[in-house]
Amino acid sequence: MDIEDLRTFVEVADAGGVSAAALRLGISKSMVSRRLMRLEAELGVQLLARSTRGASLTEAGATFRDYAARVSAEIDVARETIVPAGELRGRLRVAAPLSFGPTHFAAVIAQMARRHPHLQIQTCYSDRFVDLIAEGYDCAIRVGTLQDSSLIARRVGPLYGSFVASPDYIKAHGSPETPDELVAHQALMQGTETWQVMDGDKVITVRPQGRFKADNGVALAVAAVAGLGIAALPDELIKDYLASGELVPVMKRHPPTPIGIYVVRPPGQHPARKVRVLTEMLIECFDHGPALPKTAYP
């Protein structure tokens, strides 16, 4: 029984169809179909009920899926054990944020690909919340405060930020000096959220109000430059605006609490070595100072 046939079946079962599985695997739909047919012929049972809307597991397929996933995982562990030290093979699927991803994390991922020429890497850059398990990702790089979940997280570095606004906004509405004053201003937010503000050694929770929201830090910075309100943004994202004077810091005595950069992965007893290697490279790059470096890797 071919291990790639097993992997393909698991991907189709988890993705809910041949097209989605082919996209995950980076192969053609016809190849996915051939592997499925070969596996079903080998087993002598139908694993998937196919229709124009996708593919659903038969009773036999639902039973076999967990066994196939465990076998595939064991093969990965065995392969990592016997390959030459330091060499990575197979495929690594990573989800990364659109803000910071291409400018800071992409260099680390590219360096990893250069060091491991037999490793296939697929990276999705998006600020939407990616479901690692449902969408078949090995791990994700996330920035901010993590929500409670079953995922396993490893912090790889700090990220510091500031409250900022445009000179025009401050001229029209004033500059808040305390957390109590901040809630009276227009806030530029990524969603319905709270802001964590430092008050000496204490952390104060502020519930800001605002009419402008976006799921991307760059878009919030542009909105702040346009004078729409006050934003809490990572320093690295706004450094050019601060240098040009298009944005100015406010609430200097009460900055946002530092947040973190994390690698998160689906639950499991042992993380894949490719995920461990990526995590170690990110720690080497980011866990050393008060802000993100200008360039992630030479």
Q: pLDDT for 146-157, tens place per residue?
A: 776 678 889 998
| Six-digit token string for 289 | 């100072």
User: Do you know the residue count of the chain?
Assistant: 298
- Residue 47 contacts residue 60 (beta carbons within 8 Å): yes
Between CA 253 and CA 230 the distance in angstroms is 16
289 vs 149, more confident? 149
Q: What pLDDT shows up at residue 103?
A: 86
| Arithmetic mean of pLDDT, 22-50 | 90
Statement: residue 162 has pLDDT above 70 = yes
| Arithmetic mean of pLDDT, 187-205 | 87
Q: What pLDDT shows up at residue 190?
A: 85
Which of 212, 204, 162 minimizes the C-alpha distance to 180?
Answer: 204
Q: What pLDDT shows up at residue 266?
A: 84
Count of other CB atoms within 10 angstroms of residue 145: 12
Statement: residue 246 has pLDDT above 70 = yes
Count of other CB atoms within 10 angstroms of residue 63: 13
Confidence of residue 269 (pLDDT cuts 50, 70, 90): low
Which of 230, 105, 264 minimizes the C-alpha distance to 161?
Answer: 230
Between CA 62 and CA 47 the distance in angstroms is 8
Percent of the chain scoring above 90 in pLDDT: 48
Q: What pLDDT shows up at residue 72?
A: 82
Statement: residue 204 has pLDDT above 70 = yes
Statement: residue 133 has pLDDT above 60 = yes
- Residue 140 contacts residue 95 (beta carbons within 8 Å): yes
| Arithmetic mean of pLDDT, 73-81 | 75
The structure's pTM equals 0.70
Statement: residue 12 has pLDDT above 60 = yes
Q: What pLDDT shows up at residue 264?
A: 93
Statement: residue 296 has pLDDT above 70 = no
Statement: residue 289 has pLDDT above 60 = no
Q: What pLDDT shows up at residue 290?
A: 42
Buried b (16+ CB within 10 A) or exposed e, 176-214: beebeebeebbbbbbeeeebebbeeeeebebebeeebeb
Strands 195-199 and 90-96 turn out to be: unpaired
For the chain, what is the mean pLDDT?
86
Q: What pLDDT shows up at residue 297?
A: 30
Which amino acid, one-letter code, is at 237? L
Q: What pLDDT shows up at residue 298?
A: 30
Statement: residue 181 has pLDDT above 80 = yes
